[in-house]
Amino acid sequence: MGTDGDERVVLDLLWNGLGRPQRGPRHQLTVEQLVDAAMHAADEEGVRALSMRRVAARLGVGAATLYTYVPHRAALLALMADTMIGRIPLPHTRPGSWRERTEAWAAEEMAGFREHPWLVEIDDSRFVGPHAFAWTDSAIRVFDGTGLDGDAALTVVQAVSGHVRGHVPLVIAEDRAQAWTDPDGRSWGSAQEAFLATHRPEPGRFPGIETLREPPTAVDTFEAGLGWLLDGVELRIAHSLEIRRGSPKFDI
Amino acid sequence: MGTDGDERVVLDLLWNGLGRPQRGPRHQLTVEQLVDAAMHAADEEGVRALSMRRVAARLGVGAATLYTYVPHRAALLALMADTMIGRIPLPHTRPGSWRERTEAWAAEEMAGFREHPWLVEIDDSRFVGPHAFAWTDSAIRVFDGTGLDGDAALTVVQAVSGHVRGHVPLVIAEDRAQAWTDPDGRSWGSAQEAFLATHRPEPGRFPGIETLREPPTAVDTFEAGLGWLLDGVELRIAHSLEIRRGSPKFDI
DNA sequence: CGATACTCCGTACAGTGTTCGAGTACAGGA
DNA sequence: TCCTGTACTCGAACACTGTACGGAGTATCG
């Protein structure tokens, strides 16, 4: 199955945590402390500072010590990601229609990524932890009563989640650009604007772009795109309800 | 504007290339050769092999030599990405309706990412090269005659492109998992399946997931999501046409 | 009471991107 | 024509990185 069984070890750590050692001295720290330190390092000093040595220094231990808690850096990252997911509220516990709830969790997911940009780099679909699992489970249940079966609900959930993730890098880049320049924010990421202002391409070369008046921001396109996507889902749900009404025997 | 003017240098390199030096010896290689070597290294040996030293070795030159062609690694990556984009056909030159053409370029974009997985890691929206620019321009023009103005067309283009990019990591992970296991492919990425088979969570803990029968693959969700997204766009276009017909004066 | 299995961690290895400076090749000006 | 100044080339070095090894100390089992 997975590479060489190494993934099992990481998944075991994610799901069951680190067992107390049978023999020898006990651990000085907990995995939670380790993950917490790593998350703070990433938040405060950026992804670049997320090195084993730096995290170890934060905890006042040697770098090699971390490897008795976690098999490798990738495992630490997986733990960070799953911990982060565990901090956002479960979608199905929110009030409102499926659409309101989906819009809410999509916005929350985007907000989480913007607040902790390291999540983008960290995210690895090979390691699905218990929190990610529970989150997905909850998101599926948002569609209870819509006529969609589980498989279809999961399709919607992953489609929307994929949509969010696709727009995250652009939104983050925009956030960073905005933080650098005086706030008269345009899209095209500031540096491009400045560059194109001096190196303006000859007229007629890019006729499509010349029709732009007020280019949408990354947040605009994300929200518009999400709206369209959910419009499409709405059609799909209406369609499946119609089929249901047509033949009431077919209850799946 | 951008960080410290460094981005201008990269953009200048992307748009204008490397000028011949006025005085002193000429360059032994071309930037194109350098980028080509880097792309081959990434394709053949994986992203891990994409180090300056390895690329230099491929070209039979010293590592430090590369820095007379390119200010830093990030610039090389930007050149690789823009070169890659230059190799896919321009959207507006395809036949068919806006929807057919959009589906075509979305599929092509996805195929490109699957064929060259390093593109995901490389992609940096700060550095928009001439090919990316031309591509965006072309994509905007796909919506000529739909009633959408340039800004709205760009919104659609970026929404769809973001959607594609969001699904790329999942599809690639699936590709890799499929390459490892015997081909009876399920979703959940093989390692999870194997893990959950042994560590099955207690019934009732994940009721949503228990309703799954045949979980959708990443490709399934991508395609379904794209369909819904375009359904929503179709509604939007129909709506704007209606408004147009209603008040023909309002030509924006 | 060993023996054993474990944590902790200094050290080391093989790598990374990038800088420095010596050596050298080349073009323009005198 | 020579000279000057510029620029490419590239070995060596710097400050890092993730991780393996092995020794020292320690808590528990037989």
> Residue-wise over B19-55: b if at least 16 C-beta within 10 A, else e?
eeeeeeeeeebebeebbbbbbebbeeeeeebbebebb
Quick check: A69 CB within 7 A of strand C? yes
Q: What is the pLDDT of residue A178?
A: 78
> Tokens for A150?
């589980």
* DSSP label at residue B247: -
| CA B49 to C1' D6, whole Å | 34
How far apart are the CA of B135 and the nearest CA of chain A, in angstroms? Answer: 10
As a rounded value in angstroms, the CA-to-C1' distance for B173 and D16 is 30
Kindly state the tokens that stand for B80. 């690789």
Q: What is the distance between the alpha carbons of residues B135 and B113, in angstroms, rounded to a whole number?
A: 16
**What is the rounded distance in angstroms from the CA atom of residue B117 to the CA atom of residue A5?**
23
Picking from B154, B171, B174 by the largest number of A CB atoms within 10 A of its own CB, the best residue to mutate is: B154
* Per-residue tokens: B107: 């599929």
Chain B contact set for A154 (CB, 8 A)? 212, 215-216, 221
Partner residue facing A159 (CB), from B165, B212, B224: B224
For position B246, what pLDDT does the model report? 61
State residue A188 phi and psi, 5-degree precision: 60, 5
| CA–CA separation, B143 and B113 (whole Å) | 24
Contacts of A39 (CB under 8 A, 6+ apart): A80, A83, A84, A116
Pairwise CA distance, residues B188 & B178, whole Å: 11
User: What CA–CA distance (Å, rounded) separates A18 from A37?
Assistant: 17
Q: What pLDDT, on the 0 to 100 scale, is given for residue B200?
A: 79
Helix (H) or strand (E) holding B120: helix B118-122
Q: Does residue B120 lie within 7 Å of nucleic acid chain C, judged by its CB?
A: no
Smallest Cα–C1' distance to nucleotide C25: which residue has it? B25
Give residues 3 to 22 of A whose Cβ lies within 8 Å of B.
3, 7-8, 11-12, 15-16
Are the Cβ atoms of B158 and A225 closer than 8 angstroms?
yes
Q: Is the CB of A143 under 7 A from strand C?
A: no
Instruction: Give the pLDDT confidence score for residue B179 in this predicted structure.
Output: 75
Provide the b/e sequence for B128-150 (b: ≥16 CB within 10 Å): bbbbbbbbbbbbbbbbeebbbbb
- Residue numbers in chain B where pLDDT is lower than 70: 1-5, 180-194, 197, 244-252
Backbone angles phi, psi at B43, to 5 degrees: -65, -45
**pLDDT tens track of chain A, all 252 residues?**
444 468 889 999 999 999 888 888 999 999 999 999 999 999 999 998 899 999 999 999 999 999 999 999 999 999 999 999 999 999 999 999 999 999 999 999 999 999 999 999 999 988 999 999 999 999 999 999 999 999 999 999 999 999 999 999 999 999 988 776 544 444 444 566 667 767 778 889 999 999 999 999 999 999 999 999 999 999 999 988 777 666 544 443
Q: Would you state the structure tokens that stand for residue B243, as one six-digit string?
A: 């408004």
Query: Cβ of B51 < 7 Å from strand C?
Result: yes
**Tally of CB atoms within 10 A around A46:** 11
Q: Tell whether B235 lies on the interface with A, counting CB pairs under 8 A.
A: yes
**CA A100 from centre of chain:** 19
Per-residue three-class SS string for B128-139 = CCHHHHHHHHHH
CB A171 within 8 A of CB A216: no
**B146 part of contact set with chain A, CB < 8 Å:** no
Task: For nucleic chain D, give residues with Cβ below 7 angstroms from it.
Answer: A 22-26, 49-54, 63-64, 67, 72-74; B 21-29, 61-65, 67-69
* pLDDT score, position B20: 79
A61: Cβ under 7 Å from strand C?
yes
pLDDT reported for residue A1:
42
For position A190, what pLDDT does the model report? Answer: 55
Tell me which residue of B243, B237, B196 sits closest to B215, measured CA to CA: B196
Whether the full predicted model's pTM is greater than 0.95, yes or no, is no
Suggest the residue from A154, A190, A205 to mutate for an interface test with chain B (most B CBs closer than 10 A): A154
Backbone angles phi, psi at A41, to 5 degrees: -60, -45
Could you tell me if A138 lies within 8 Å of chain B, comparing CB atoms? yes
In angstroms, the CA A185 to CA B245 distance is: 34
Q: Are A146 and A98 in contact (CB under 8 A)?
A: yes
A42 CA to chain B: closest CA distance, Å? 19
- For B:74-93, CB contacts with A below 8 A are 92
- The predicted structure's pLDDT at residue B251: 42
CA count, 13 A, side-chain hemisphere, B87: 14
**What residues contact A189, with CB distance under 8 A and at least 6 apart?**
A173, A174, A177, B2, B125, B126, B128
3-state secondary structure chain A: CCCCCHHHHHHHHHHHCCCCCCCCCCCCCCHHHHHHHHHHHHHHHCHHHCCHHHHHHHHCCCHHHHHHCCCCHHHHHHHHHHHHHHCCCCHHHCCCCHHHHHHHHHHHHHHHHHHCCHHHHHCCCCCCCHHHHHHHHHHHHCCCCCCCCHHHHHHHHHHHHHHHHHHHHHHHHHHHHHHHCCCCCCCCCCHHHHHHHHCCCCCCCCHHHHCCCCCCCHHHHHHHHHHHHHHHHHHHHHHHHHHHHHCCCCCC
Helix axes A191-198, B6-16, angle to 10 degrees: 50
Residue of A nearest to B227 (CA): A232
Per-residue confidence (pLDDT) for residue B3, from 0 to 100 = 45
